[in-house]
Amino acid sequence: MSNQPVNGSHYDADQIQVLEGLEAVRKRPGMYIGSTGINGLHHLVYEIVDNAIDEAMAGFCDQIQVDILENNVIRVIDNGRGIPVGIHPKEGISAATVAYTILHAGGKFGGGGYKVSGGLHGVGASVVNALSEWLELTVYDGKHIYFQHFDRGHYSEALKIIGDTDKTGTTVVFRPDEEIFEDINFVYDTLLTRLREQAFLNAGIKIIFTDHRDPENFQQEVLHYEGGIKSFVQFLNQNKDVIHPEPIYLYKEENGATAEVAIQYNNSYYEVIKSFANDIHTVDGGTHETGFKNALTRVFNDYGRRHKLLKDNDQNLSGDDVREGITAIISVKLTECEFEGQTKGKLGNTEARPLVENMVYSGLDTYFEENPVIAKMIFEKAIGAQRAREAARKARDLTRRKSALDSGGLPGKLADCTSKDNTLTEIFIVEGDSAGGSAKDGRDRRFQAILPLWGKMLNVEKARLDKVYSNEKLMPVVLALGCGIGEDLDVSKLRYGKVIIMADADVDGSHIRTLLLTFFFRYMRPLIEQGHIYFAQPPLFRVGRGKKFYYAFSEKERDKYIAELSNGSDAKVDVQRYKGLGEMDPVQLWETTMDPSNRTIVRVNLEDAAQADTTFTILMGDKVEPRKEFIERNARFARNLDI
């Protein structure tokens, strides 16, 4: 057999079915990959890589190579068995062609009421194919090399042999379709984060990830973690001071389902818990996470009573107490996952709760009994949290009485708006009194409120909630927003639909943004999750000639306007650089930065905030080494940073 199509006889009938399926995907891509924005784009890569990971987890493949090539072409190579090339008995064409052209029932992102599964073998390949300008599949079966080319999911030639080989594996190369996606520029860090996550969740797998697009910015990362989720926890804690050097690791298998958990406490005051079901990040938690939290609270209290770490008349530790400073990964693998919620980010399988809960309770109980010194250290941390929470409660009650937190007491410097309808209102949080003054005069007072910040910023890295209540810089923010913080947060009470951070476009401004974002991330996270936090974008330059002028938001834009206004002549173009918001008069500030019909504001997402949080930890934390490293890496950014 040489150069012969691997094909059967039902070609015509199959073609019709194929065309209908691919058509459906191209008509409603969102149903299959969530969106045609940047997330959907990256999803294409995950679908193909998932198939290679499945092959690795089945024990047939130990290396996966992922490359971003020039022109945003993606290549994924594995050394598994190769997708089966034999004739599919029902379809009459090669099984590999079936996998890449026939749509399998039910999209992952389907809006209907049906079950949604993760890790279904090969399901996504045809979707990726349909949404690619072109895709090339090469299979090595130890004897022959098979090849097939597709254009937008269609093929004119069947899978055919193009050579001989003694290797096995699968290679897929594709370019996303610009007719479908708004932007096909892959973001290296986004893919890296996800691939790294997959490498942690599947211990031992080796993923080599390379960006070849720009020779001057060649980037490569080898992702290979024998420690699995234990390594994941250590990775997340790398810039923190940990309370015990080795993460606690628990594993259980029951009725074909597995659960594993890794835990390591650090001396910070907040929790990082990430849960996964069949390698899919369950952003909104679910039954496995509930089981974990229940067990954790129970085991602390039972152990504490038994060992007299909690006295008879001491209160029980709360869930928040026992999770202070925890970094944990929860990963379950089930035969079939049911995902719930708007964005399918919540695990619904009822059997996952007792599976995780029993494992964590008995596993931690044993661990504590066998490691009493570590148990005591973690326990003291939780007791500290309990005391701080008690102190916070008292501070809050005091604040309530003093400033009438409940009866709508508002900070003195707030210039409020007249509307009370938070679907319309917005608040600008502005650093400094002079910028605050311009904003106050320039705003539309019917729906825009201004809160100038002043005073020394609290280092939230080293402070617990009780300190926030007495901080003169943050407390006005809390009071003005009106929705409380921490465990008292109630988003429905938020007084303004948009909370807009307005800071200078310089290093100090970026410092303020980092600080506020870290504060929101730690104490008011639902505001970020529900899309209420924004950055204002003030211009950097005013470029003018005679009566005509433009505002420029970057140096590139400035140069464009200079060229336009000078019109090739030597005519003098006036360029004014805004060093700070305070330099703009109220009218300019309104026109460029505040007027909803003219301005650009950027919505903050959870990833931005998590990034700010990491940056903040590095800059403000106790560890010197990561701080030095960060400043070296970001020398340009950090030059004027006063830390």
Tell me the closest approach of the beta carbon of residue 45 to ligand 1YM, in angstroms: 10
Q: Of 90, 115, 121, 493, which one interacts with ligand 1YM (CB under 6 A)?
A: 121
Interface pattern 60-79 for ligand 1YM (x via CB under 6 A): ----------------x-x-
Active site residue 506: yes
Of 99 and 326, which CB lies nearer to ligand 1YM in the complex structure? 99
Residue facing ligand 1YM at closest CB distance:
122
The two beta strands, 272-277 and 326-333, are: parallel
Active site residue 625: no
Q: How far apart (Å, rounded) are the C-alpha atoms in residues 30 and 619?
A: 40
Active site residue 177: no
Structure-token match 């996550």, residue found: 197
Q: How far apart (Å, rounded) are the C-alpha atoms in residues 604 and 32?
A: 26
Q: Which of 389, 410, 397, 395 is CA-nearest to residue 471? A: 395
Binding segment for ligand 1YM (CB under 6 A), chosen from 47-55, 279-287, 325-333, 631-639, is 47-55
Does position 84 bind ligand 1YM by CB under 6 A? yes
Tell me the closest approach of the beta carbon of residue 333 to ligand 1YM, in angstroms: 16
Strand partners, 161: 146
Contact indicator for 520, 528 with CB cutoff of 8 Å? yes
Structure-token match 């079939």, residue found: 336
Q: What's the CA angle centered on 483, arms 265 and 586, to 5 degrees?
A: 110
Of 333 and 346, which CB lies nearer to ligand 1YM in the complex structure? 333
Q: Of 122, 348, 411, 544, which one interacts with ligand 1YM (CB under 6 A)?
A: 122
Q: How far apart (Å, rounded) are the C-alpha atoms in residues 570 and 226?
A: 65
Binding segment for ligand 1YM (CB under 6 A), chosen from 50-58, 367-375, 507-515, 634-642, is 50-58
Active site residue 441: no
Does position 41 bind ligand 1YM by CB under 6 A? no
Does position 48 bind ligand 1YM by CB under 6 A? yes
Contact indicator for 235, 200 with CB cutoff of 8 Å? yes
Q: How far apart (Å, rounded) are the C-alpha atoms in residues 469 and 476?
A: 10
Q: Of 25, 45, 52, 512, which one interacts with ligand 1YM (CB under 6 A)?
A: 52
Tell me the closest approach of the beta carbon of residue 137 to ligand 1YM, in angstroms: 9
Does position 103 bind ligand 1YM by CB under 6 A? no
Contact indicator for 69, 214 with CB cutoff of 8 Å? no
Binding segment for ligand 1YM (CB under 6 A), chosen from 51-59, 511-519, 531-539, 546-554, is 51-59
CA–chain centroid gap for 91, Å, is 40
Q: Of 81, 281, 305, 413, which one interacts with ligand 1YM (CB under 6 A)?
A: 81
Does position 119 bind ligand 1YM by CB under 6 A? no
Of 84 and 580, which CB lies nearer to ligand 1YM in the complex structure? 84
Q: What is the DSSP string of 496-562?
A: -SEEEEE--SSHHHHHHHHHHHHHHHHH-HHHHHTT-EEEE---SEEEEETTEEEEESSHHHHHHHH
Q: Of 21, 29, 40, 80, which one interacts with ligand 1YM (CB under 6 A)?
A: 80
Binding segment for ligand 1YM (CB under 6 A), chosen from 81-89, 173-181, 377-385, 471-479, is 81-89
The two beta strands, 63-69 and 206-211, are: parallel
Of 100 and 276, which CB lies nearer to ligand 1YM in the complex structure? 100
Q: Which residue in 508, 529, 559, 564 is the catalytic one?
A: 508
Give the three-state DSSP class for 177: coil
Binding segment for ligand 1YM (CB under 6 A), chosen from 91-99, 328-336, 402-410, 515-523, is 91-99
Tell me the closest approach of the beta carbon of residue 42 to ligand 1YM, in angstroms: 16
DSSP-derived secondary structure letter, 213: S
Does position 91 bind ligand 1YM by CB under 6 A? no
Tell me the closest approach of the beta carbon of residue 203 to ligand 1YM, in angstroms: 19
Does position 99 bind ligand 1YM by CB under 6 A? yes
135-174 residues in contact with ligand 1YM (CB under 6 A) are 170, 172
Q: What is the DSSP string of 599-631?
A: --EEE--HHHHHHHHHHHHHHHSS-HHHHHHHH
Contact indicator for 85, 76 with CB cutoff of 8 Å? no
Does position 296 bind ligand 1YM by CB under 6 A? no
Tell me the closest approach of the beta carbon of residue 269 to ligand 1YM, in angstroms: 43
Tell me the closest approach of the beta carbon of residue 22 to ligand 1YM, in angstroms: 17
Of 78 and 504, which CB lies nearer to ligand 1YM in the complex structure? 78
Number of residues that bind ligand 1YM (CB under 6 A): 17
Binding segment for ligand 1YM (CB under 6 A), chosen from 80-88, 232-240, 395-403, 524-532, is 80-88
C-beta contacts of 361-366 below 8 A and 24+ residues apart: 361/295, 361/298, 361/299, 363/248, 363/250, 363/252, 363/261, 364/248, 364/250, 364/263, 364/295, 364/296, 364/299, 365/299, 365/302, 365/303
Tell me the closest approach of the beta carbon of residue 163 to ligand 1YM, in angstroms: 19
CA distances from 21 to 77, 89, 135, 206, 210 (A): 26, 20, 17, 34, 33
Q: Which residues contact 254 (CB under 8 A, 6 or more apart)?
A: 355
Q: How far apart (Å, rounded) are the C-alpha atoms in residues 384 and 378?
A: 10
Q: How far apart (Å, rounded) are the C-alpha atoms in residues 631 and 629?
A: 5
Tell me the closest approach of the beta carbon of residue 38 to ligand 1YM, in angstroms: 22
The tokens for 201 are: 């969740």
Q: Of 93, 95, 474, 478, which one interacts with ligand 1YM (CB under 6 A)?
A: 95
Q: How far apart (Å, rounded) are the C-alpha atoms in residues 586 and 252?
A: 63
Does position 92 bind ligand 1YM by CB under 6 A? no
Of 41 and 207, which CB lies nearer to ligand 1YM in the complex structure? 207
Q: Which of 148, 128, 130, 127 is CA-nearest to residue 138? A: 148
Q: Which residue in 321, 338, 431, 461 is the catalytic one?
A: 431
Of 83 and 180, which CB lies nearer to ligand 1YM in the complex structure? 83
Contact indicator for 57, 333 with CB cutoff of 8 Å? no
Does position 94 bind ligand 1YM by CB under 6 A? no
Residues in contact with ligand 1YM by CB under 6 A are 48, 51-52, 55, 76, 78, 80-81, 83-84, 95-96, 99, 121-122, 170, 172
- The catalytic residues are 431, 504, 506, 508
